[in-house]
Structure 1
């Protein structure tokens, strides 16, 4: 059985340089090693994957979504990101795959980039923030994009943007990032259910990062809606075994995917994350502590 990590970050140098050169703050991504696409960092990544038993990483550039003005520059930034990520995949066939970024909120430009990254570059899908510029990425404005994603049977990883409840969330080192990320992850689940996305776009593979935030702590009707939806969840819960157990008991082992948050989780902690994921099946059968 192939062990695939669906929550792993890569911030290509050309992409970061472009965003930084046009005024978007990229200090945090520059400070995370090994997070770039240099040959040395890719070799280090592969070695850590080998040491941890990970066969493939699905790379994404979250939470560094392009937010440039004028909006047309976002298309140029997105193209830089996906071309660089596709090149990283080509350096290690079978070991890497990737999820593209799109120049939202420009739907027409995003559809063009989606065609390019799926049909020409072989991406698995895209990564999206739960909201962008204060508006949900599950709003009806994006229906043409979701129709295209559905047609392509694409994966969509919803990853926090770090700006959901206030400017302080831009600093991932503060406790407000952790709380805000949970809020974003929970909200996107509610938005997915409210928009009947599983019925309208059943061929999309939606993945909510970090086991869905607090969605399994909500009311029974909401939890039942999650259970009967097409939503999947990754296993990254910052080591919180009870959160992972709760998600697994509700939706079953088959809808929990490995997610590590690499390179934030690396070295010995990476192997620990894989072991927690592999224990999900037994955790689901255990009574709560």
Structure 2
């Protein structure tokens, strides 16, 4: 590991559980975002990987396609399950893992409940959302109560890309992480900019993966980074 003066933290790390993968497959995600299949994950393997890279702490989260597969009740239960799993992981390996709690968007009420539970009870380091939730991008007025609450809490929001609506027409038959993830990050950043979300909620610390995707080349303004 690195020295205390140069501590390294990986803010973009993922985990899966068997029950999460089974739920996603049951919902039709046999090949998530066009990938050949689902990855496997074990805490010991992840620890070995970050040790090899000289990384002190990995901030884990659930990746695309998230936990909402069309049913609000099922999404709330699945989000709670993976968040509790991650919180236990952090307790078992203090200092080696942190956790961004999954929110079951576009279910706003369920997300507000999960914000309170994850931040107040589980001690999560922030929350994780996808670039769009069933085609609703993050500047959508539907999500205003979520940003209001996260701004009040001065929370960290980790934004991970997912497949855009209509990806069949633009992905050229390739897995969406190859190209579409980069463009969907830019799409949601631009939506947040044009909707004025960054201005209205200045106390949210945003983390966008892959360097902000195509937003970095589009000349869009960068939100305030979060140092951790």
Change (3 A) 1:112 1:163: same
- CA distance in 2: counterparts of 1:51 and 1:184, whole angstroms: 31
Q: Which residue of 1 aligns with 2:135?
A: 134
Q: In the TM superposition, what is the alpha-carbon distance from 1:175 to its structure 2 partner?
A: 5.6
Partner of 1:178: 178
Gaps of 5+ in 1: 36-40, 233-254, 259-289
RMSD: 2.5
Show the counterpart of 2:71. 70
User: How many residues are matched?
Assistant: 220
Q: Distance in 2 between matches of 1:214 and 1:10?
A: 25
Partner of 1:14: 19
1:196 aligns with 2:196: yes
Counterpart-to-counterpart distance in 2, 1:109 and 1:95: 29
SS of the aligned residue for 2:94 comes to coil
Matched, 1:205 2:205: yes
1:97 match: 98
Q: Relative to 1, partners in 2 of residues 1:120 and 1:190: Cα closer, same or farther, differing over 3 Å?
A: same
User: How much has 1:149 moved relative to structure 2?
Assistant: 0.9
Q: Is the 8 A contact 2:21 2:38 kept in 1?
A: no
* Residue aligned with 1:59, SS: strand
Larger displacement relative to structure 2 (42-51 or 158-167): 158-167
Q: Report the Cα distance in structure 1 between the residues aligned to 2:115 and 2:204, rounded to whole angstroms.
A: 14
**Residue 216 (1) aligns with residue 216 (2):** yes
* CA displacement at 1:165 relative to structure 2: 4.3
CA contact (8 A) 1:68 1:74 kept: yes
Choose between structure 1 and 2: higher helix proportion: 1
Highest Rg: 1 or 2? 1
The aligned residue for residue 115 of structure 2 is 114
Is the Cα contact below 8 Å between 2:163 and 2:176 reproduced in 1?
no
CA deviation vs aligned residue, 1:161-199 (integer Å, no higher than 9, x gap): 12344147899x926542211210111221121122222
TM-score normalised to structure 2 length: 0.86
Displacement of 1:144: 0.8
Supply the distance in 1 between the matched residues of 2:119 and 2:145 (Cα, whole angstroms).
16
Taking structure 1 as reference, are residues 216 and 44 closer, same or farther at Cα in structure 2, changes over 3 Å only?
closer
- After TM superposition, the structure 1 stretch with the greater mean CA deviation from structure 2, 66-75 or 45-54, is 66-75
SS at match of 1:156: strand
Q: Which aligned runs of 4 or more in structure 1 are off by greater than 3 angstroms?
A: 18-21, 26-31, 167-171
Segments of 5+ residues of structure 2 without an aligned counterpart are 1-5
